[in-house]
Amino acid sequence: MSVQLREAGPEDADALTACEEAAYGTGLAHVFGDLPWPREGIWRRWVAELGDPGVTTLVVDDSRGRILGFATYDDQVLRHLGVVPERWGSGLADRLHDEVLQRHGARPIRLWVLEENTRARRFYARRGWVEDGRRSISEWLPHPVQVGYTRR
């Protein structure tokens, strides 16, 4: 199946919400348990980010136009990176990650990842990201701990 990398626009908010629900709903079920997916809040966040000229969202579409993965960044932070579970291990996350770093240039960049998201933490560590000592609490129930990473 062929895929296409492109920049997302405001019309992609619904599809990005669905993609994120698939990616994080599966990958983070052990963190969020039976709590309902915060669809409205996630959708509002996508609408705001897609409308912000300082934020870029890259998506990978399949041949039918379905979003299979996304990466969102600004001049300092990799905000989101996710791939639908059926494409885990396919290289899409690598492609999105590498494209963000190429576009971002040599400047340092940071990110937050849930402490209990061991899959993501291994992914970032293998790609040169280092824990930087920052800790925060997620805005989403049950408010899990996030740890900061930096890549120089």
The percent of residues in the chain predicted with pLDDT above 90, rounded, is: 92
pLDDT at position 2: 84
Backbone angles phi and psi of 6, in degrees to 5: -155, 165
Mean pLDDT of 39-57: 98
Average pLDDT, the chain: 96
Count CB-CB contacts under 10 A for residue 130. Answer: 12
Q: What is the pLDDT of residue 114?
A: 97
Res. 57: pLDDT tops 80: yes
The per-residue pLDDT for 25 is: 84
Rounded to an integer, what distance in angstroms lies between the CA atom of residue 50 and that of residue 84?
Answer: 20
pLDDT for position 24:
87
More confident residue, 79 or 25: 79
Q: How many CB atoms lie within 10 A of CB 142?
A: 10
pLDDT, residue 152, reads 87
Secondary element (H or E) of residue 49: helix 39-50
Q: Which residues lie below 8 Å from residue 7, measured CB to CB, with a gap of 6+?
A: 56, 57, 58, 59
pLDDT at 1 over 70: no
Report CA-CA distances (Å) from 18 to 5, 13, 15, 102, 152: 18, 9, 5, 27, 32
The beta-strand segments (E) located in 56-102 are 56-62, 67-73, 78-83
> If pLDDT is split at 50, 70 and 90, which confidence band does 81 have?
very high
Average pLDDT over residues 81-102: 97
Average pLDDT over residues 137-147: 96
Residue closest to 61 by CA, chosen among 3, 1, 2:
3
